[in-house]
Amino acid sequence: DSGSVVPYPSLVAQSESTQRNTSKSGSASTAAMGTSSSSSSSASALIISACDKAGMEGIDRTRVDEIIMRESAGSVYMKQQQKRDQNVNVKIDELKQKLAAKDYSMASINSNATSWRRAGEHALEPIIDELVQSRPRRSTCVVVDMDGFYISCELLSRPPELGNLPCCVGGNMITTSNYVARRYGVRAAMPGWIGDKLVEELSNGKERLIHIPSNFDLYTRKAHIIRGALAEYDPNLRAYSLDEAYLDIGPYVDLRVGRGWSHERVVATLASTSKHSCEDKEHVDEEVGNEEEFIHCNVDISAIAAVVKEMREKVKVATGGLTCSAGLASNFMLAKIASDQNKPNGQKVVGPSHKEVLEFVHPLSVRKVPGIGRVMEKMLNAFDIHIVHDLYKERALVQFLFKPASARFLLRASLGWSNDSLDPSAPEDDEVGSSSSASGQKGISKERTFSAGKSWEELNSKLEDVCRSLSQSMVEKNIKAHTITLKVKLHTFDVITRAKTMPRGIVLQNADQMIVEMTEMLLNVKRQHKGTFSVRLLGVRCSNFQGDEERSQDSGQMDISKFISTCSPIRASHNSLVHSTGTTKMTSRIEKKVDFAQKGAQTDAQVKNTDISSFFSKEKGWNKVEEFETAQVLDSGTNSTHALHSVDPGNVSSVPASR
């Protein structure tokens, strides 16, 4: 359609209260008609407990939502959520105006308000082609996620009958619940008393939610056992959290299934080769064969699935009964999504072909994509994008609406092939790029919530406690930091942070030193703040670790002119850095890394014609019709260094200056 064009100037800011969700099922262009987007219900859509998590299928979520809303109605917390919600609505309306302006200007030239999208889609074709081309051809990425981890750990050492009752870990705040409790809508990040209410009311008073205090050490111990079991299958596994691990079992299945080796022999080989570097690499090549053989080793996917099943069983035995679920796919984004599909105690395989990938990912809610949270979901929904397929269908619109990094991420997600850093589910495949400090940790923090309305003296006392506690952790971990940040949460739930980076040569670890800085900062915050200074949380964070900066040769200061003019080898930093840092793994691993993170070298040819942001952003002056019709996204000499397929440049290029 699109015949009718909205006069741009008529788009006045909508009053948020007047929406009635007019944008039924019309295409996103309906949204462009200026009807205020914004959510339908007055309740903040950001907080209702979307019962879409594992173990919560088919429960009467209307009643759950009703109880939750009733329990939190009018609370300060709720008011804060509504404020957030309103801010998102404002953002949405801004985007809609931006879109309307685009359609309008296009229409004035072309008499067709939305044809620019076709052109945009056309411009995306080569990029999509390349992404599809570079897709891994095997499903050997595994995400293992423990079922109800904390609560399962707790129930292990308790009478089994307890497992049939609704249980959770945490008192005032629930960190997780068992699957019985989930049937009542009780879930992580829910305050305890709401969980109580849910169970009480939805069981008609027959049951009560059982709270078990948290025992973090227990979970940490179990986590180590789990990793030990999993490491047999991939010694280079990434532990994303206590209960979640990312593995590439390609090498394992090649030897175990492809070569028919025994489990023990495979484990021994992998273990001996993964650890160290160059010498071992040759050793591996002898023992394992060359990489072509590796790659073309066509292992039946059901055989890989069988390996995963066996692996899960080993975890269960090693932990004394903890179950886990797993996803098996050709990349970690898909594997992560898949790991949730057959929870608990199940697994899901996604084949590597383009067809299989799309069949899997397209019907899913965009919310399933790791990295798309409540806010992004709401924004997408406002443009009638609900499932991943919509994300693909509206790819031109998405490219136009969002910032390059987000747009890139969303496009890749819509193709089932994402490893952007916006997606935290893709842990870096190792130590090459970032922080030389052993753990790779970038910050450490401590924060405490207490009843609001404390006196000034009490506040300072709390702050000292937090500082001392943090300091102790830093001593234990041998961490010294350059930057310290104070966090203050007011009784309204508004958060204020203030940071200070110490002068050269001064480093933070000592408690008294931190206390000095923090108390001064707190005083400043208090002075700046107008209105009653009623605090419910104080926190301290240290970052910018000493030893994290390291190699920053060439610290000499240059004349400013050099900075501005000579901008030649922007992109060289990528390749050369990856190269020069020296990767120390066996060939097959490196191969893998290219598949996973696409960090390998890119040819200049690849770099060309890939920055589509310039195509959609009118700031660059690309919004004239001619360009759209020729649809060439040329580019480039400029800043188009981050192509859609180049991933997470931040990580590789983050070599901070010396301090």
Q: Which of residues 493-552 bind DNA (CB under 7 A)?
A: 495-501, 536-537, 539, 541, 543-544, 552
Number of other residues whose CB lies within 10 A of the CB of residue 532: 11
**Burial of 500 from C-beta contacts in 10 A (0-12 / 13-18 / 19+):** middle
Residue 150 binding partner per list Mg ion, ligand TTP, DNA, none, with a CB distance cut-off of 5 to 8 Å that depends on partner kind: ligand TTP
Q: Is residue 189 close enough to count as binding ligand TTP by CB under 6 A? A: yes
The three-state (H, E, C) secondary structure of 537-549, written as one string = EEEEEEEEECCCC
Residue 342 touches ligand TTP, criterion: CB under 6 A: no
Closer to ligand TTP at the Cβ: 243 or 595?
243
Report whether 642 contacts 649 (CB < 8 A). yes
570 binds DNA (CB under 7 A): yes
Sign of CA dihedral 474, 435, 427, 495: positive
Q: With binding defined as CB under 7 A, does residue 619 bind DNA? A: no
- Judge contact between 301 and 309, C-beta under 8 A: no
Q: Which is nearer to ligand TTP, 147 or 248 (CB)?
A: 147
In the chain, how many H helices and how many E strands? 28, 14
Q: Does 176 bind ligand TTP (CB under 6 A)?
A: yes
Q: How far is the CB of 145 from Mg ion (least distance, A)?
A: 4
483 binds, among Mg ion, ligand TTP, DNA, none (CB under 5 to 8 A by kind): DNA
Full 3-state SS string of 180-211: HHHCCCCCCCEEHHHHHHHHHHHCCCCCCCEE
Q: What's the alpha-carbon Rg for the chain, to the nearest Å?
A: 27
Among ligand TTP, Mg ion, DNA, none, what binds residue 221 when CB lies within 5 to 8 Å by partner kind?
none
**Binding to ligand TTP by residue 116, rule CB under 6 A?**
no
Q: Which does 563 bind (CB under 5 to 8 A by kind): Mg ion, ligand TTP, DNA, none?
A: DNA
Q: How far is the CB of 481 from DNA (least distance, A)?
A: 11
CA distance 426 to 261: 30
**Of 344 and 600, which CB lies nearer to ligand TTP in the complex structure?**
344
- Binding-site partner at residue 5 among DNA, Mg ion, ligand TTP, none, CB < 5 to 8 Å by type: none
Q: How far is CA 136 from the centre of its chain?
A: 21
* Binding segment (CB under 5 A) for Mg ion, from list 21-29, 144-152, 437-445, 624-632: 144-152
Asked if 351 is part of the footprint of DNA (rule: CB under 7 A), the reply reads: no
Asked if 77 touches DNA (CB under 7 A), the answer is yes
The dihedrals phi and psi of 507, each to the nearest 5 degrees, come to -135, 145
Q: How far is the CB of 129 from DNA (least distance, A)?
A: 24
User: Binding to ligand TTP by residue 341, rule CB under 6 A?
Assistant: no
Closest CB to Mg ion among 336 and 593?
Answer: 336
Nearest to ligand TTP of 26, 344 (CB atom)? 344
Name the DSSP class of 254: I
- Does residue 49 touch ligand TTP according to CB under 6 A? no
Q: Which of 87, 290, 472, 478 binds DNA (CB under 7 A)?
A: 87
* Interaction between residue 167 and ligand TTP (CB under 6 A): no
Q: In whole angstroms, how close is the CB of 187 to ligand TTP at the nearest point?
A: 8
* Burial class for 644, CB neighbours closer than 10 Å (0-12, 13-18, 19+): buried
Stretch that binds DNA, among 281-289, 559-567, 577-585, 593-601 (CB under 7 A): 559-567
Helix (H) / strand (E) element for 89: namely helix 76-110
The reply on whether position 324 binds Mg ion by CB under 5 A is: no
State the CB neighbour count (10 A cutoff) for residue 526.
Answer: 13
Contacts of 599-607 with CB under 8 Å at 24 or more apart are: 599/432, 599/433, 599/647, 599/648, 599/652, 601/575, 602/574, 602/575, 602/643, 602/645, 602/646, 606/130, 606/643, 606/645, 607/571, 607/636, 607/640, 607/641, 607/643, 607/646
The answer to whether 443 contacts DNA (rule: CB under 7 A) is: yes
Report, in Å, the least distance between residue 300 CB and DNA: 29
Shorter beta-carbon distance to DNA: residue 34 or 404: 404
Task: Please identify, among the stretches 127-135, 219-227, 236-244, 616-624, the one whose residues bind DNA according to the rule CB under 7 A.
Answer: 236-244
Q: Is the Cβ–Cβ distance between 333 and 357 less than 8 Å?
A: no
Q: Any contact of residue 344 with ligand TTP (CB under 6 A)?
A: yes
Q: Binding of DNA at residue 429 (CB under 7 A)?
A: no
The answer to whether residue 340 forms part of the interface with Mg ion (CB under 5 A) is no
Q: Is 657 in the site for DNA (CB under 7 A)?
A: yes
Which amino acid is located at 427 in the chain?
P
Residue 570, contacted partner among ligand TTP, DNA, Mg ion, none, CB below 5-8 A by kind: DNA
Is the CB of residue 548 less than 8 Å from the CB of residue 472? no
Return the structure tokens found at 608. 């060309």
- Which residues, numbered 123-162, are part of the site for ligand TTP (CB under 6 A)? 145-150
Residues 548-577 that bind ligand TTP (CB under 6 A): none
| Closest distance of CB 349 from Mg ion, Å | 19
* Residues within window 265-304 making contact with DNA, judged by CB under 7 A: none
The phi and psi torsions of 135 (rounded to 5 degrees) equal -65, 140
The letter for the amino acid at 36 is S
* Coil, helix or strand at residue 10: helix
- Told to check if 370 binds ligand TTP by CB under 6 A, we report no
Min separation Cβ 580 and DNA, Å: 16
Three-state DSSP string of 315-350: HHHHHCCCCEEEEEECCHHHHHHHHHHCCCCCEEEC
Of 70, 83, 15, 71, the closest CA to residue 44 belongs to: 83
Q: Give the integer Cα–Cα distance in Å for 635 and 619.
A: 15
Instruction: Establish if 196 lies at the interface with ligand TTP (CB under 6 A).
Output: no
**Phi-psi domain of 631 (left: phi exceeds 0; alpha: psi -120 through 50; beta: other):** left
Using CB under 5 A, pick the residue from 232, 243, 248, 384 that binds Mg ion.
243
- Smaller CB separation from Mg ion, 149 or 179: 149
Residue number with CB closer to ligand TTP (136 or 539): 539
Identify the CA nearest to 151 among candidates 228, 54, 237.
54
- Is residue 246 within the footprint of ligand TTP (CB under 6 A)? no
Choose which of 420, 517, 595, 611 interacts with DNA (CB under 7 A): 420
Q: Which does 10 bind (CB under 5 to 8 A by kind): DNA, ligand TTP, Mg ion, none?
A: none
Work out how close the CB of 493 gets to ligand TTP at its nearest, in angstroms, rounded to a whole number.
17
Q: What's the 3-state SS for 389-418?
A: HHHHHCHHHHHHHCCHHHHHHHHHHHCCCC
Q: Between residues 243 and 428, which has the closer beta carbon with respect to ligand TTP?
A: 243
Binding site for ligand TTP (CB under 6 A): 54, 145-150, 175-176, 188-189, 243, 343-344
- What is the binding site for Mg ion (CB under 5 A)? 145-146, 149, 243
